[in-house]
Amino acid sequence: MSRPWKPSVTVAAVVERDGCFLLVEERTGEGLRINQPAGHLDPGETLQQAVAREALEETAHAFAPTALLGIYLWRSAEPLRPTTYLRFAFTGELGAAIAGRALDRGIVRTLWLTRQELLQRAAQWRSPLVGRCVDDYLSGQRYPLELLYTHPAALATGFA
C-alpha cells in the first residue's frame, strides 16, 4: 500500500527594514541558496509559533508575526524527490540580534538585500516563492492573524 500524498507544510518570515529584506544564505543539496528565514511546521506548535522558532533558529533574532502575508503552494522539480510545499508566509517585528546565538545547521549567514539586489540573484533563490513573497509584501498584501485557527488537539505532542 502506498503512502497517502501530503504537502510539506512550511512557514516563512518576510522582514523589511529600510528597503532591505532579511534573507538567509543556506547550504542545500543544490548548493548555496537564498531564502527567507523559513522551515517546517513541527508537531505541537501553531503556525505563528513555527515561524517565530524558525526565524530565531536561522537568524538569531526574535521574530513576532503581526500579519499573514499569504499562503503559497509550490512543487519543487528535484529529480530524485519532488516535493509539494504549502508555505504560510508572515510579516512581523524583528527583535535585536541575540549575541552568541549560533545559526541553525546549514545556514551560512544572514543577508539584507533590496528587491533589486534580490532579483539580480534570482538564480540562487531556494524557490520562486522567495520573490513572490517579497512582491506580495511590497504590494501591501496583509491578512489578520485571526484568519488562522489552531484547534487545541493540534497542539498535543506524541504524534505527527
Q: Quote the pTM value.
A: 0.93
Question: What pLDDT is stored for residue 134 in this prediction?
Answer: 98
Q: How does strand 8-14 pair with strand 84-97?
A: parallel
Beta strands in 2-158, from DSSP E residues, in sequence order:
8-14, 16-17, 20-28, 31-35, 38-40, 61-75, 84-97, 107-113
Q: Quick check: helix, strand or coil at residue 10?
A: strand
**Rounded CA separation 15/38 (Å):** 12
Q: How much is the pLDDT for 160?
A: 53
Q: For the segment 74-124, what is each residue's pLDDT rounded down to a tens digit?
A: 998 877 778 999 999 999 999 999 999 999 999 999 999 999 999 999 999
**CATH fold label, 8-144:** Nucleoside Triphosphate Pyrophosphohydrolase (3.90.79)
| Domain map (residue ranges) of the chain | 8-144
User: What pLDDT does 158 receive?
Assistant: 63
Are the C-beta atoms of 35 and 130 separated by less than 8 Å?
A: yes
Task: Look at residue 24 in the predicted model and tell me its pLDDT.
Answer: 98
The yes-or-no verdict on residue 30 having pLDDT over 60 is yes
- The yes-or-no verdict on residue 55 having pLDDT over 90 is yes
